[in-house]
Structure formats: C-alpha cells, structure tokens
C-alpha cells in the first residue's frame, strides 16, 4: 500500500449522528488504509485539502452550522450495491457537513441522467456528486459544466485524448490495483493448494474494454501474472463488452473458458468488477471446479455480504471499497468548493499528477478477507468523521 503522506487533522468536528433515510428515490486488526494525499504546506489557508487524513476527510475551517444547509444530488446510473452503499454513507455524513443528500438513479438511461441533471440545477440544488458513466462521459461532463454548479465524480475517471484527467474523480488507480490483486492470489495460493506446477496455472482475466479504468485493472493483472510466472501462456481474456456489467456476463464468460481448457489445472481469477467475480464463482461451482479456482475482485459489497452469511468458497478476497472512502472526500471537496475555501483548480492540487488538468484522487486500497474485513470497515468509518 501507498504510505500515508497526509497529516491527520488535530481535531475533527464530530457530531452525534442518527441514521437518516434517503431523501428522494431512492479476527485480527487490519493495517490502516493509506491515501495518496500529500502534506504540502499542511494547514495552508490556500489549500485546505492538503490536510486530508488517511481516507480524504478534511475540514476547511468553516463551521458547517454557521451557514445554510447545502443541497447535494448524488446521481448514478444503475442500482448497484456499491452505489447504494455510497448513498447510505453520504446520508450518514449529512450532519457532519450540514448537507442534505438527494438520491437519483437513472436506471441505465443516459438521456434520463442528462435531463435530470438539468432539472435539479433548475430547481436550485447546490452541487452534484456523480458516478459519470464511461459510455457517455464527455457528454455528461458538458451538461454538468453547463449548470455552472460544482461537481465531483466518483469511480469512473473522465480523461481527454491525451489521457489527462479533466474532472475531479475519486477512485482506484487501475494498473496498481490489478497488480496487487494478482500478486495476492498467487502469493496466497499455497495456503489453498500447497505447492503446484505453475505451468498448469491459468489466468482468467476480466475486463470491460470500453471503460479505461477497468482495462487498466486488466493490464495490471496481466503484467503481474507475466512477472510471477514468466513464459506461462495460459492467459485468457474475458471481455464483458460481449454482454454487460452484470453477474450473468461473468458467469457466461467464465463458464466458456473454464470448461474448454482441461490443460489448466488451477485458475486464478482477478476480476475488475465484483459482479463478474460473482458470476465466475457460480461458474466454478457449477462445473465442480471450486477447489481449483481462486477469485479476487475490485470492490467488496457483494462478497462481504456473502461473508456476513458464512460463505467460505473460492471467492477468497477483494480489494475493499468502503463506501466512506468515496463519501468523505467527495463531501469534503464539494463543501469546500461551495464555501469558497477551495477553487476547482486548487482542490487536491498537492496530489495532482503533472499530466492531469484536474485531480484523480486515488483512494487507499486494502485487500481484505473474511478474517479482516470487519476491522477494516470499522477503521474507515471512524476516519470519516463518525464516532
């Protein structure tokens, strides 16, 4: 994991919380997660976001209760578990930041998303936290820019033709996450299989090629596998573009590959999307191969829910995505923009890559298992400004 470079604020404003409903539509101690937040001039009035703590929470010196409540829309394309949990985290943080969250799901309708952005803007909301869908990211950006309101993207980066980030986005750096996931599966495979002939090991590598972030995870998986098992050609691409971003696509792709390659005795499956991992898990179980398959994934909503019920199958780990890791920095950033203590140009400028126009805020990553996930999520909740 990346080392924490940011300093934790000396005091965080903590309020007694009560769980609120959605407003409209809608083991051992783990190591601390880290962030890429830098500490250039901590405490600087000109860049309060340099004070972000380990998960990106910061205060900018403005008492949230000294102003009117900000109305923020959280907009996303489809009712995935991750999005719904981020929504719930944003709602729990309402009293910390003195905001009201309005929840909007476009149900996979790009035109509806665009239309409702404009409707909410006309109704006088203060800003947007939004999952910008990769299939129409520049179009959605143009509409958001047209509102004149501040917004922060989460999960899917928006880049120009040169690969420069042109929207503030909170997410995971795909290549490094892919490498971490594949290395974890390889290093821990001995705990499940003992010593094996690695020439009989295969990589089933998921991607969704239209999404650059997912493709980066695929590239990271591939690079690490080739580094760990040089000369091994048992590498099989599973591109979800043939189906969609759903479990059924993961199942169909994994079934076809697993069932037609008897020369491979053991499989590691690092999935760029947890729904693909869920489909691969079901395929391995249906084919009776679960003892020869190990799966990891990016994001953790589905697997942790399975662990909560006692699941102990071949889906053995995941790159954790605690909802507060997205919610806390997103609210910190948009509130500081609305307060005027940050500008679009200054926000997270201390951690911006020189090649980016705006900042891709890389959240800390932690690979968790059934023995460590509870402690990890408890830690992140505390770092979010919640008691």
Break the chain into its structural domains and give their ranges. Answer: 48-172+322-383, 174-319
Q: Model pTM?
A: 0.77
The values of phi and psi at residue 71, to 5°, are -100, 115
**Domain 174-319: homologous superfamily in CATH:** Response regulator (3.40.50.2300)
d(CA 290, CA 284): 5
The values of phi and psi at residue 228, to 5°, are -80, -35
Number of residues that make up the chain = 387
Q: pLDDT at position 6, please?
A: 33
Q: pLDDT at position 34, please?
A: 32
DSSP secondary structure string for all residues of 26-91:
--PPPPPP------SSTT-TT-GGGG--TTS----S--GGGSPPEEEEEEESS--HHHHHHHHHHH
Domains 48-172+322-383 and 174-319 agree in fold: yes
Q: pLDDT at position 80, please?
A: 84
Write the class of the CATH domain 48-172+322-383.
alpha beta
d(CA 153, CA 74): 10
Q: Give the H/E segment covering residue 95.
A: helix 94-97
Q: Give the H/E segment covering residue 258.
A: helix 247-259
Q: pLDDT at position 212, please?
A: 85
d(CA 339, CA 212): 33
d(CA 27, CA 154): 31
Each residue's pLDDT, cut to its tens digit, for the chain (387 residues) gives 333 333 233 233 322 222 233 333 322 222 333 333 333 343 345 789 998 998 899 999 999 999 999 999 999 998 888 899 999 999 999 999 999 999 999 999 999 999 999 999 999 999 999 999 988 999 999 999 999 999 999 998 999 999 899 999 999 888 999 999 999 999 999 999 999 999 999 999 999 998 888 999 999 999 999 999 999 999 999 999 999 989 999 999 999 999 999 999 999 999 999 999 999 999 999 999 999 999 999 988 899 999 999 999 999 999 998 899 999 999 999 999 999 999 999 999 999 999 999 999 999 889 999 999 999 999 988 888 886
Q: pLDDT at position 105, please?
A: 97
d(CA 375, CA 88): 19
Q: pLDDT at position 7, please?
A: 29
Q: pLDDT at position 387, please?
A: 64
How many H-runs (helices) and E-runs (strands) does the chain carry?
A: 12, 12
Q: pLDDT at position 92, please?
A: 95
Q: pLDDT at position 35, please?
A: 33
């Amino acid at each position: 994991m990346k080392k924490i470079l940011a300093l934790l604020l000396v005091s965080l404003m903590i309020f007694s919380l009560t769980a609120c409903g959605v407003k409209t539509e809608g083991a051992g101690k783990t190591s601390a997660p880290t962030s890429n937040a830098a500490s250039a001039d901590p405490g600087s009035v000109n860049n309060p976001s340099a004070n972000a703590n380990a998960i990106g929470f910061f205060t900018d010196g403005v008492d949230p209760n000294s102003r009117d409540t900000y109305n923020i829309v959280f907009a996303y394309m489809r009712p995935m578990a991750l999005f719904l949990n981020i929504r719930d985290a944003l709602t729990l943080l309402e009293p910390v930041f003195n905001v009201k969250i309005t929840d909007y799901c476009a149900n996979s309708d790009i035109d509806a998303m665009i239309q409702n952005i404009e409707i909410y803007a006309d109704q006088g909301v203060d800003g947007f936290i939004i999952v910008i869908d990769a299939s129409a990211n520049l179009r959605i950006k143009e509409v958001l820019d047209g509102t004149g309101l501040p917004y922060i993207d989460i999960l899917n980066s928006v880049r120009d033709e040169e690969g420069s980030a042109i929207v503030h986005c909170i997410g995971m750096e795909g290549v490094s996450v892919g490498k971490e996931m594949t290395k974890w599966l390889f290093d821990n495979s001995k705990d499940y299989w003992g010593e094996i002939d690695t020439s009989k090991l295969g990589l089933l590598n998921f991607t969704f090629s239209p999404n650059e972030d997912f493709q980066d995870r695929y590239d990271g998986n591939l690079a690490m596998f080739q580094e760990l098992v040089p000369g091994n050609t048992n590498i099989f691409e599973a591109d979800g573009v043939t189906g969609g971003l759903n479990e059924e696509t993961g199942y169909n792709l994994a079934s076809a590959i697993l069932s037609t390659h008897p020369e491979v005795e053991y499989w590691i499956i690092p999935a760029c999307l947890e729904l693909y991992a869920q489909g691969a898990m079901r395929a391995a179980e249906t084919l009776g191969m679960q003892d020869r398959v190990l799966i990891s994934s990016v994001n953790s909503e589905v697997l942790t829910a399975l662990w909560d019920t006692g699941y102990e199958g071949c889906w053995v780990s995941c790159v954790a995505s605690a909802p507060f890791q997205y919610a806390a920095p997103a609210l910190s950033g948009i509130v500081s923009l609305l307060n005027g203590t940050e500008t679009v140009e200054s926000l997270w400028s201390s951690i911006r890559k020189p090649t980016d126009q705006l900042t891709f805020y890389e959240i800390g990553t932690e690979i968790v298992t059934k023995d460590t996930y509870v402690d990890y999520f408890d830690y992140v909740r505390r770092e979010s400004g919640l008691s």
